[in-house]
Amino acid sequence: MMNKDNRFSRKMHSNFSTRRHSCIGFDVENGLSVGRSPLDPQTNPGSGLVLQASFPHSQRRESFLYRSDSDFDLSPKGPTRNTSTVSDLEESLKHWEVNWLSSRHTEDMIVTPFAQVLASLRTVRGNFAIITGQQDRTASKTRSSGSNPPSMCKTSLAEEPHQQLAIETLDELDWCLEQLETLKTRHSVSEMASNKFKRMLNRELTQLSETSRSGNQVSEFISSTFLEKQHDMDIMSAPNKEKDKNKWPMSQISGVKKPTHSPNLAPSTIPRFGVNTSQEGLLARELEDINRWGIDIFKVSEYSGNRPLTVTMYSIFQERDLLKSFKIPADTFITFVMTLEDHYHADVAYHNNIHAADVVQSTHVLLSTPALEAVFTDLEILAALFASAIHDVDHPGVSNQFLINTNSELALMYNDSSVLENHHLAVGFKLLQEENCDIFHNLCKKQRQSLRKMVIDMVLATDMSKHMNLLADLKTMVETRKVTSLGVLLLDNYSDRIQVLQNMVHCADLSNPTKPLELYRQWTDRIMVEFFTQGDRERDKGMEISPMCDKKNASIEKNQVGFIDYIVHPLWETWADLVHPDAQEILDTLEDNREWYQSMIPHSPSPNPKGKDEGALSGEATALSEGGGPTLADKFQFDLTLEEEGESDSESPPEDEEGCIVRGGSELCRTSCSEFDALSAAAHLLSKKLTTDSDRTFSFDTEKIMAEDT
């Protein structure tokens, strides 16, 4: 389909079996090995990540993060901001940010507040040096980076008082910059960026929700999923006593079941890819692209007998030589991964073993991006792949908020905090205790402790309500290092290293829109099946239906466009800045996919053609439904819902060369003129009666999708 993936795969391919980690001495708790400073010029480049200068995005659309955060741009109908919760520094930044950004169209854009302060102070220093004739004076590097300010120099008889004052002022500025550059930016400083991005996103969503009813659906979905929920939900009543019989003890981890296959596999009998399959040749052909972005994981699932996670993990661990590095017996590894895969629910359309395999393979490719080559240790790579494999195990196919609102046992167990993510971790680590499943048996105690800490941090970061915090942390870190004199992200402490790994797994988890379009569309179909299934359960329980979960009025194409604009694009844009220029192909694919979904947003229905009255149209529509002709109701159903006035910002779906009208990932082929004419008559009758814009929703053939997994 897209040749961009092939170009990217050649760039990403490397021989993992021979690569050596120059920073193998890095300790998760203590940093780099004693005697080797990350600032040492002899230190191997693998000790840090050089941030390449990004050029103006003249060829690509920028995300909303690069717009102004000025209050003057707020819609009059937008919510009033609580100024008591915003610091004076944030307020000051917002007032001059418009002018600050507009003066830097030809430079690398900086949008996080702390990095803006650093950049502005550097500009002040440069301007002051020019005004005072001290532009040739460089910042002193002999002073210690301790907490003491520079001492005032004694006045030289040869220097004029104002010259000496200028020199002392420059020393003060240099010292302040040096101190600011060495601050840890992960916590309070990043909160400034997080709060700013949340304000900007809320403004974008407010404006979107005012445009139409479907825009309001998209706004509610993004807000409820990717922003932390405020404590204003309506909690359901406690479950009735009949359900108490099925409760499991609070000290027991639910979902863990005994393996259905033999835990004792003979090493000599392990197949090439870890599983027996009658299509090994086809599977081998697909797995040749294991190092390429956009592998067809659905074909891997089909050819492996619905064992995509097992064959993907086994192939990657062999490719990276991790079984040998950590002395993991092959039979133990296969037993564990198959047991793990069995704990993904086959009846869940999206959060299943195929998604887990996709995230593992995506993480594998991101780990091998040239900018990160030799940056992470084998233990960190092992932790990232393991976290990706378990990150959704035993997922029930509903959201955290659904579990909280229904007073589920899981919500009670984990106190409504990252409910599913905590459960995935508990199940994943619990399975290691099953017979012949402990793949970390030969790790020393400190390695096991370090790995467990990293895995916990990475899986908890997949909670989508933490998205804005993750994004703000990463962007603050990247931009702060950009405006420093070094321009190098040292990654010499656990906080910075785990932050990059967390965002890597998060990117892999949100990578569907960056994959080839045919794969992205399959993932969209699957997530909508899952959403609609949850919506049906909420409807049956008399609950308020969650955003995008009502199959009667969901705006699927608009939701995908909003999902890309406000969530996926800003995240991948920031990741691309971190590894520049390695992820440019991914951004191109993301933009292409966004344009496709934008083009598929249904157009307003056309007026009733002249010469046809409503009676004739009604008769044709009735003949269609009662005359025995195919109605497609059993496979594909269209609903036209009344929309608010003014929503006409979309295009008609294209018609392909074969004469098929393409809509929402399915095709209604005109196999006979009479059938198509009858469908057209029914559509024109509906368009005559509707005076405002309409949106399309559809119900999927859930049984067909489930059958593909089995």
DSSP character string of 26-48: -BTTTBSPTT--TT-TTS-GGGS
**In what helix (H) or strand (E) does residue 216 lie, and over which residues does it extend?**
helix 213-226
Strand partners, 488: 50
Per DSSP, the residues of 510-534 read T-GGGS-HHHHHHHHHHHHHHHHHH
What's the token pair of residue 411? 């919500």
Tokens standing for residue 266: 């003979």
Tokens of 448: 């096991």
**Cis peptide bond upstream of 249, omega within 30:** no
Interacting residues of 22 by C-beta distance below 8 A, sequence separation 6+ = 44, 45, 46, 47, 374
**Nearest alpha carbon to residue 260 among 321, 204, 342:** 342
Interatomic CA distance for residues 489 and 50, integer angstroms: 6
Measure the CA–CA gap between 677 and 674, rounded to whole angstroms: 5
- Quote the strand ranges of 31-179, DSSP E: 49-50
Segment holding 660, helix H or strand E: strand 660-663
- Show Cβ contacts of residue 73 under 8 Å, excluding neighbours closer than 6 positions: 67, 203
Which of 21, 343, 345, 351 is the catalytic position? 351
What whole-number distance in Å separates Cα of residue 132 and Cα of residue 159? 13
The candidate with the shortest Cα–Cα distance to 523, out of 564, 583, 464, is 564
In 111-179, at which residue ranges do the beta strands (DSSP E only) sit? none
Alpha carbon distance 468, 205 (integer Å): 14
Question: Which residues lie closer than 8 Å to 621 by C-beta, 6 or more apart?
Answer: 678, 681, 682, 685
Do 575 and 477 meet the contact criterion of CB atoms below 8 Å apart? Answer: no
Element at 387 (helix H, strand E): helix 378-390
Cβ neighbours of 361 (radius 10 Å) = 30
Q: How far apart are CA 267 and CA 25, in angstroms?
A: 33
Between helix 584-599 and helix 517-540 the angle, nearest 10°, is 60
- Please report, in angstroms and rounded to a whole number, the separation of the first and last CA atoms in the chain: 26
Is 364 among the catalytic positions? no
> SS3 sequence, 400-437?
HHHHHHCCCHHHHHCCCCCHHHHHHHHHHHHHCCCCCC
In this structure, the number of other CB atoms found within 10 A of the CB of residue 10 comes to 10
For residue 684, the SS3 value is helix
Active-site positions read 351
